[in-house]
Amino acid sequence: MRLLARPPAGLRCRGGTPRRQPRLGPARRHQRPRPATALQLAALPETLFSVATAAVVPLYALLLARPHARCTRRLLASDALWLGLSALYATLLALSWRADTLALAFPSDATLPLPPAFPRLTQIAQLFERPAAAAAYWVHLLAADLFVARWVLQDARRSHPPTPTAHTLVAALLFGPTALLSHVVTKWVLRQRAGWGGRTKS
């Protein structure tokens, strides 16, 4: 009886002729599809970013259209608005947290002429390269700017003469803290004009 030689490993016979099977490289061999939950978590910062932006922009439209209406006052005084933004921020902060987050935010580098745990701009920029961290910072800005807009409206109601707020609210939406400067300068100009008018009449 004739013994047939067993084909070496990696070969397969088709039609009597052994053929070598293609080998997968290390990258393809160990590559596994990402679970659905991981994909959903990766997309969650983008979703929360869009939700926060879509919620705040119509609110600014209401502030511009009816700044002194009762519904506007109730909305700005409601805890639900601020708790919602706080919850979004806390969620994004948790999603962005990594083992090196504190080290990037408050590094301890003795080679630099700065106090320990003093933030460095380059490392803060590296931290915000992460989408979840950038989204958390964006929600932080939205909440802070909206808080400035609320203070401007409340102060405008108490001021005499009445202070216009439309341009200041636009500044709060686009440029945040500049709204404080805009409001203070507007009040000062109106008071100066009122003083000049009183002197002219007298």
Per-position DSSP letters for 159-175, written without gaps between them: SSSPPP-HHHHHHHHHH
b/e for 162-198, b at 16 or more Cβ within 10 A?
Answer: ebebeebbbbbbeebeebbebbeebbeebeeeeeeee
Number of Cβ within a 10 Å radius of residue 111: 5
Q: What is the pLDDT of residues 149-174, one digit of tens each?
A: 999 999 998 888 889 999 999 999 99
Helix (H, G, I), strand (E, B) or coil at 18: strand
pLDDT for 188 equals 93
Separation of alpha carbons 129 and 137, rounded Å: 11
* Lowest mean per-residue pLDDT among 52-66, 101-115, 129-143, 177-191: 101-115
Domain-wise residue ranges, the chain? 42-195
Q: What is the pLDDT of residues 80-108, one digit of tens each?
A: 989 999 999 999 999 999 888 888 888 77
Separation of alpha carbons 26 and 148, rounded Å: 55
pLDDT for 102 equals 84
Q: Which of 202, 138, 121 is nearest to 176 (CA)?
A: 138
pTM for the model stands at 0.71
pLDDT for 193 equals 86
pLDDT for 159 equals 86
Q: What is the pLDDT of residues 1-11, one digit of tens each?
A: 455 555 555 54
Q: What is the mean pLDDT of residues 41-69?
A: 90
pLDDT for 107 equals 78
The model's confidence at residue 113, banded by pLDDT at 50, 70 and 90, is low
Looking at the chain, the whole-number percentage of residues with pLDDT higher than 70 is: 72
